[in-house]
Chain A
């Protein structure tokens, strides 16, 4: 059965990954690196960029090969493709900055099992043409990076009193150590989700009020 392809690229193709289907805040995908490496802004940024790179490369290749990959072994093929690019990223980061490599630890290699990337491959790259896939993956990658940064900045600010290593609050600030420890990750992400829920609800109730002519 030929797949019907819709090749129109709209702004939505790009923006959907950043807001409407944000992989972290909306879809709750790829949570492990999100919580594990966001104890400082620089780690979060590096992780976001590495993931975006792997996402872009793997979805490019998968999109190009989408008609050549047999359906039965597609997941295995995708994983091998992703693993190849992750190995490359792993060695590149090791070559650029050993310090960063040690800070991120095994989580660079664990990009392989980030469900967001496999999810994109399965749901998008295998069904769409190259350019559209690229635009969408870029949006998703940026959305993921933004989410990591928003967690990382809150955690570093509260847990260390600094941002990107520069002190913000000065000497007198008593850092909330728990924020850079594991529990902080869960709590900060939970708080972000609460905020988004609240915004969504407010928007809905405002729309309702307008409709009913109550305002």
Chain B
């Protein structure tokens, strides 16, 4: 597979350079919302949706910025777009599934400060991806995020039944688990090369 092909870009963002476990992006929701399997799943979906919207918008905005030669405004423009995309998803969710809206709570507006999304927009600009490549990249990143957060949620649900020493309860053991997951994902590093 050539490194620029759409399928490779998808695979790269999905497994090889998984946004959460290999590039350390989007750790706040990864550690914060992975307590229960179904909230983790909807958080993953919402994040992926925001990723798609902001990735497409970021692509066109970057074209405009380059055209007018005002690239130094890139960061501010991207973050504004992401904030509006999150607002959009929030309003849609509130209208169509209020239960889910409540379950996600504070973490929904916090998608704005999820570095996976801004990181995605910045990386695709940095790598000069065209529209199709950007789409593949954002779908892959979203799928990778869902995969990571669901794996983590499954592990943590099992963990609740485990008999742990008091000292290792809470964040410490979650981080250790994430470390082991990350080790496993390193096994994908040889893929596609």
User: Among A45-53, A136-144, A176-184, which stretch is in contact with chain B?
Assistant: A176-184
Q: Which chain A residues in 97-138 approach chain B with CB under 8 Å?
A: 106, 109-110, 112-115, 118
Quick one: CB contact mask for B7-26 with A, threshold 8 Å, 1 for yes? 00000000000000111111
| B2 within 8 Å of A (CB atoms) | no
> Would you give the shortest CB distance from A38 to chain B, in whole angstroms?
10
User: Among B44-52, B153-161, B166-174, which stretch is in contact with chain A?
Assistant: B166-174
Known: A181-B186, A186-B179, A194-B168. A35 touches B27 (CB 8 A): yes
Once the chains bind, are A83 and B79 in contact (CB under 8 Å)? yes
Neighbour of A182 across the interface among B75, B109, B186, CB < 8 A: B186
| A167 within 8 Å of B (CB atoms) | no
Enumerate chain B residues within 8 angstroms of A114, measured Cβ to Cβ.
113, 115
Q: Which chain B residues in 101-117 approach chain A with CB under 8 Å?
A: 109-110, 112-115, 117
Known: A110-B122, A115-B28, A181-B186. A36 touches B110 (CB 8 A): no
CA distance A31 to B123 in the complex (A): 19
Enumerate chain B residues within 8 angstroms of A194, measured Cβ to Cβ.
167-168, 172
> Would you give the shortest CB distance from A104 to chain B, in whole angstroms?
13
**What is the chain A residue whose CB lies nearest that of B189?**
A181
Once the chains bind, are B122 and A190 in contact (CB under 8 Å)? no
| A169 within 8 Å of B (CB atoms) | no
Enumerate chain B residues within 8 angstroms of A147, measured Cβ to Cβ.
none
Once the chains bind, are A193 and B122 in contact (CB under 8 Å)? no
CA distance A115 to B115 in the complex (A): 9
Please, could you name 28 A-B residue pairs with CB atoms under 8 Å apart, sorted by A? A32-B24, A32-B25, A32-B26, A32-B115, A79-B80, A83-B75, A87-B72, A106-B119, A106-B126, A109-B122, A110-B118, A112-B75, A113-B112, A113-B114, A113-B118, A115-B110, A181-B186, A182-B186, A183-B182, A184-B179, A185-B179, A190-B173, A190-B175, A193-B170, A194-B167, A194-B168, A197-B168, A198-B167
| 8 additional contacts (CB under 8 A) given A79-B83, A109-B75, A112-B118 | A106-B119, A106-B126, A178-B183, A183-B186, A186-B175, A186-B182, A187-B179, A197-B167
